[in-house]
């Protein structure tokens, strides 16, 4: 991700320890091990799996080391990286996003190996896109394999809850045969490996990253709404940290254990199989909250990419541009007003249109 160049700026910045002491973590359990209810996952501490990526003065760890906060201020964003590379795995965290005015902000939870394979990297993304005051966060998923950044595979979604008010679990499953993105225990996207994808399917060892950064140039309304540092620092909190997979050397790809056994155990896990009930939940989510899909963007891809499975009930909702035929209304806790004037309705529609911007940095789809 291009924004990691921000790390070079952090070396010249004076620590803000006195300021950061004003933001205190809630007291958490000090138990040696913890089990997360969703999927019955065993969680780890920060030190067991992570290290600072950049701007460590903007990273706050809880006293029990089981949660941390990433801060963005006018000087820098911040980020962490897993201390190991994984050859397939399940990566998860409960995340709470910044509140109030979040335009221009991107919070990312993703796997990548760009530090090792700069020209042919793999990547699996969950990116949260901030918004202007009173309008909801949106998020997108994406994947790259072998440096295939020119063939973006973006999907964008709304949420059915306010992610700044409570924690929700976000997860990425990556196996040799498929990729599944989860919100809590709801699968929101599945990509099954198709042989004709070839190198476009991520297959090299990756690390797990979490970052917050200033993406004012593209993230909100096509770059028209910038980060407003009047509201700094912006903080995103992560807990219930899960890193499950086969640890390997990224260059020699030699595992510390038997990856065949590890992968077999991974494929046998509850989260590796979408049950009938979860598939119903995924269908409901995609038909109600997805507002862009590259698979239905016939302008960008006249012939859908090989992994695309065209679901007619989804296809009927989208135009050839991959955008919805009808504007998606902002709902849930973000829009509590029952009586809406024409003026406010027009304003929301304008925001909804502008919120589907194009990112030249990320090779994103044209205004979604």
Catalytic residue list: 123, 127
Indicate the SS3 state at residue 145: coil
Q: 109 has which bridge partners?
A: 126, 210
Indicate the SS3 state at residue 260: helix
Give the angle subtended at the CA of 102 by the CAs of 207 and 54, to the nearest 5°: 35
How many other C-beta atoms can be found within 10 angstroms of the C-beta atom of residue 236? 25
Rounded Cα distance, 30 and 25, in Å: 13
Six-digit token pair at 241? 């940290």
- Per the CB < 8 A criterion, the answer to whether 78 and 54 are in contact is yes
Rounded Cα distance, 140 and 160, in Å: 14
Helix then strand then coil, % of the chain, to nearest 5:
25, 35, 45
Among left, alpha and beta (phi > 0; psi -120 to 50; other), residue 283 is alpha
């Amino acid at each position: 991700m291009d924004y990691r160049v921000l790390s070079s700026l952090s070396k010249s910045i004076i620590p803000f320890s006195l300021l950061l002491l004003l933001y205190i973590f809630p007291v958490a359990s000090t138990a040696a091990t913890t089990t997360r209810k969703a999927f019955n996952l065993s969680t780890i501490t920060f030190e067991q799996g992570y290290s600072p990526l950049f701007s460590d003065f903007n990273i706050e760890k809880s006293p029990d080391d089981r949660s941390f906060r990433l801060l963005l201020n006018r000087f820098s964003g911040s980020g962490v990286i897993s201390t190991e590379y994984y050859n397939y795995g399940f990566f998860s965290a409960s995340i709470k996003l910044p509140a109030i005015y979040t335009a221009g902000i991107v919070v990312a939870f993703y796997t990548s190996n760009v530090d090792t394979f700069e020209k042919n990297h793999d990547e699996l993304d969950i990116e949260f896109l901030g918004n202007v005051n009173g309008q909801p966060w949106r998020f997108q998923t994406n994947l790259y394999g072998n440096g295939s950044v020119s063939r973006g595979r973006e999907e964008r979604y709304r949420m059915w809850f306010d992610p700044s008010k409570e924690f929700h679990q976000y997860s990425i499953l990556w196996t040799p045969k498929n990729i599944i993105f989860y919100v809590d225990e709801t699968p929101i996207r599945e990509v099954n490996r198709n042989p004709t994808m070839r190198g476009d399917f991520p297959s090299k060892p990756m690390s797990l990253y979490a970052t917050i950064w200033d993406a004012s140039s593209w993230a909100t309304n096509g770059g028209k709404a910038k980060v407003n540092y009047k509201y700094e620092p912006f903080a995103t909190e992560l807990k219930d940290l899960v890193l499950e997979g086969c640890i390997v050397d990224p260059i020699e790809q030699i595992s510390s254990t038997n990856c065949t056994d590890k992968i077999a155990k991974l494929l046998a896990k509850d989260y590796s199989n979408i049950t009938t009930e979860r598939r119903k939940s995924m269908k409901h989510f995609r038909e109600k909250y997805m507002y862009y899909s590259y698979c239905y963007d016939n302008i960008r891809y006249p012939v859908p990419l090989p992994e695309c499975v065209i679901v007619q009930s989804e296809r009927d909702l989208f135009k050839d541009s991959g955008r919805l035929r009808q504007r998606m209304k902002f709902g849930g806790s973000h829009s509590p007003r029952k009586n809406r004037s024409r003026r406010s309705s027009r304003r929301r529609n304008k925001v909804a249109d502008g919120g589907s911007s194009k990112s030249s940095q990320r090779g994103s789809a044209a205004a979604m």
